[in-house]
Amino acid sequence: MQKIKIGIIGGTGYTGVELLRLLVVHPRAEVALITSRSEAGKQVADLFPSLRGFTDLAFSKPEPSSFNDCDVVFSATPNGIAMTHARELLENGVKLIDLAADFRIKDIDVWSQWYGMEHACPELVEQAVYGLPEVNRATVKTALIVANPGCYPTATTLGFLPLVENGLVDVSDLVADTKSGVTGAGRGASVANLYSEVNDSFKAYAVGGHRHHPEISQNLSAATADKVNLTFVPHLTPMLRGIHATLYANLADPSLPLEHVHELYQQRYQNEPFVDVLPLGSHPDTRSVKTSNMCRIALHKAGGSGKLVVLSVIDNLTKGAAGQAIQNMNIMFDLDESTGLNSPAVQP
């Protein structure tokens, strides 16, 4: 059975080690090299002891030509790095899956405004496919560049999508109240993310504007002809991993039974291997998706206001990053998209 030869750019962060955790047991994956400027020459298993016995790779310096023999490269780097590799990879017939935001937003001016840099290859942005399989599966299949979605956008888009696609809600007044574990901030040292700063506390952040706002708005706008107005407020919670999105919307027909909306969700996601629409009355928790590639969704009507409330939970490192990237790889190489991703969540 032929293996998919894989390179990973920037493997020392949380998404990098999550990629490795999943790829080293993937039956069709062969991780050929993994790069890191700061850890070049160091054994991967020395940095991540959880991988002892699963890989004998060492980190190497990111020399562009070293990826020429790969079938696909995952870029698990900060924003602004993947775009500097993209042209050469494509010229050498290597596919790229970017776990950062370099190719997610189609409007280059909007991207530059939010990410504070000039795009290195703007001509490739239009060519890139936004890698949310539940929406773009057919185009992911033939893509050369996949822009892997952000964690908040994945949970929020999947939660709102059936409502927006079917015109069931007023898209001029959508609210996403979202929470993330601290791994969403990355592995870099930061006082704000120290245990003593985060533990036993809870706070909102970036209320005036978060980089995932235009990404979510772009996704929802593509599903409707109406103008989308989204209020998006992220929060930091004292847990390691997980996203909980509590989404609010006004039904266009307030008398529409919740059972009808629930049936619509079930129909929309019935063939999606990684979206689980729970029975009415359910309240999904992040623990139920920890380390899995699953998104669990529940529906409610808020007492008093009559607003529709959608609860959507994912693991930010798996369905929100590395797991979804591998799901996209599976599609690109004509594998069952669940390959290597079928393990249940870890509990407790």
Q: Catalytic residues, which ones?
A: 151
- Check: CB of residue 232 under 8 Å from CB of residue 159: no
Q: With 0-12 CB in 10 A as exposed, 13-18 as middle and 19+ as buried, what is 30? A: middle
Ramachandran region of residue 52, left (φ > 0), alpha (ψ -120 to 50) or beta?
beta
- Check: CB of residue 314 under 8 Å from CB of residue 151: yes
β-strand 174-180 against 243-249: which pairing, if any?
antiparallel
How far apart are alpha carbons 332 and 249 in whole angstroms? Answer: 34
DSSP per-residue codes, 60-101? E---GGGGTT-SEEEE-S-TTSHHHHHHHHHHTT-EEEESSS
- Check: CB of residue 98 under 8 Å from CB of residue 72: no
Alpha carbon separation from 116 to 9, 79, 91, 186 (Å, rounded): 22, 10, 27, 19
- Residue found by looking up tokens 């235009």 in the block: 214
Rounded to 10°, the helix 133-141/151-165 angle is 100
Alpha carbon separation from 57 to 14, 20, 119 (Å, rounded): 17, 11, 32
